[in-house]
A and B are shown apart, each in its own frame.
Chain A
């Protein structure tokens, strides 16, 4: 037991939590923005995957990491707009359209990599590099905090700034107010002159962009290449964090961080004498518990109208 405590209290573990939580945080905020705009974005996984693939390919061919990151985020943003168009223009079911985008992303990324590199596994044969790490001057000299924060990737820093940004956007800007109004009750919002569709388009585009950042982190921060289906279900775990966080920015922040901590813990405990099957269930078990707690809280509040609106 003491060895478990040693692990959890080490700065290496805390640094790992920040790294592991980064894609969850970004994708979860992507999911939150869409959810609050009234359209479930189940395509987070596909948007991450497309961004990861595009980022690595563009960076590899152009030699510019920045260009790769921008293009990756752009593609994910476009997929957000595509989801909005399918939902708003054609009246498609957002869940089914989202599944379609996920399938498209999985197939298209593998196809693109195979066409360009003649490799069915990934882009590891292409030198594409990673986004820079950031170290604030002087921070390294602070004990523990310095070890945890120094050398973290640029996107990890961004991921932690996204929470205050989204909180500010939701509660301090006109756009955020409109977004929430549209998500709660589109007819009422329209009756007071809010451009419902435009707000939802913007919300889903932002949602895609955030998921795109998460994807770019995977292929250009965490590791420096793309591998087929490398998101490995992270988009869905992020979606769970959205609901666990009660659709509120700081709640989602804590939930995503919690998932990151659970996975980092599973990694650190892995070498101790605990059955690996048990350890690797930690994040998933936590997801189930989280969803159950969420449903129970909902039920207690009896806000059935809210449930209906969020669907």
Chain B
């Protein structure tokens, strides 16, 4: 019995090792070269078809066009492995720039950056605490570049477009529906920023906020539970939503299925989901996608860093004006959306860009 228990423990340990084996990244980092080496540390996994994939694509482009060397480490979705994972990644001397994203990593980077002052850190989608007053960033994070996105501006355009589509009864088969839905993964500032922007846009276009249904997936895997995403979408369509916009990673995939069965519409998020989806019936439900171009922002950072003009020790906030946020205006969009509405949305975008309209934010 005693032997059996330890044998089982050993087996479990081995299984655990196998399970995490994938996260070591490719160890191609051979001999010393003059190329600047970027290490992308992901607190999650690739394959989300939006956020992390976009960051990865951007850095791959930097590798190809700008002569960087890229290495990727995936830490998986188990939060308890993140802090040690970042410590390991930062203390290995196989990189010059460590890139990481989301609000969750700001604390780790804030602690590691002062420890490794000769390394550079890039944080996307959230700023580290540059004040240095709350226990992190004891060197004021002079070696950290943060970039954040005005996703509220993207949300604003989505809300504006949604209101126009519903008010003008422009979407075939939804003429009797007057509501729209937004599904967030979980109620955190970054997701709320999309929602706040959406509501503002919907209102500015002439709609009532009570016609915007908002709901969160929550639970164990808020960004990876498509079954629950589908259930919520079905409920929203049942309550009279003409279109639903999922801002919930892979949970959002359930929305596209639900839209096909209920014959309604969707918006995509982060990347052009008309392209990333494979099923034609699902593609056809996607009116447009609200882009949050993480990858593009990283390419720009890489370009600026090469010229020595990247601002370390400060936050860079990019939005519609910098093309870091936007909406997809492709053939499918032009097919579904009448010209009048397209012009109105473009005008709204121009107003945000020029600063004559300020979109409220959740931050």
Contact = CB atoms under 8 A, between A and B. Distances in A.
A223 B254 contact: yes
B45 A228 contact: yes
Contacts of B1: 91
B238 interface: yes
Contacts of A280: 216, 218-219
B8 A90 contact: yes
Which 4 pairs between the two chains have the least Cβ-Cβ distance?
Answer: A120-B47, A91-B4, A121-B47, A107-B19
Contacts of B218: 266, 276-277, 279-280
Given A16-B231, A270-B215, A271-B215, A125 B278 contact: yes
Interface residues of A, number: 54
Given A91-B3, A107-B15, A279-B218, 17 more contacts: A90-B8, A91-B1, A92-B4, A96-B9, A97-B8, A100-B11, A104-B18, A104-B19, A107-B19, A120-B45, A121-B250, A122-B47, A124-B277, A124-B278, A227-B250, A232-B221, A271-B235
A230 B226 contact: yes
Contacts of B257: 223-224
A23 B227 CA distance: 11
A103 B81 CA distance: 14
Q: Is the interface of B mostly helix, strand, loop or mixed?
A: helix
B298 to A, nearest CB: 19
Contacts of B77: 229
A202 B257 CA distance: 38
A233 B216 contact: no
Interface of B: 1, 3-5, 7-9, 11-12, 15-16, 18-22, 45-49, 74, 77, 181, 187, 213-216, 218-221, 224-228, 230-232, 234-236, 238-239, 250, 253-254, 257, 277-279
A230 B250 CA distance: 9
Contacts of A218: 227
Contacts of A268: 235
5 contacts: A93-B4, A108-B18, A108-B19, A228-B250, A232-B224
A218 to B, nearest CB: 6
A230 B45 CA distance: 14
A144 interface: no
A235 to B, nearest CB: 11
Contact of B253 (A103, A107, A124): A124
Contact of A225 (B46, B220, B253): B253
Contact of A107 (B7, B22, B46, B74): B22
B162 to A, nearest CB: 15
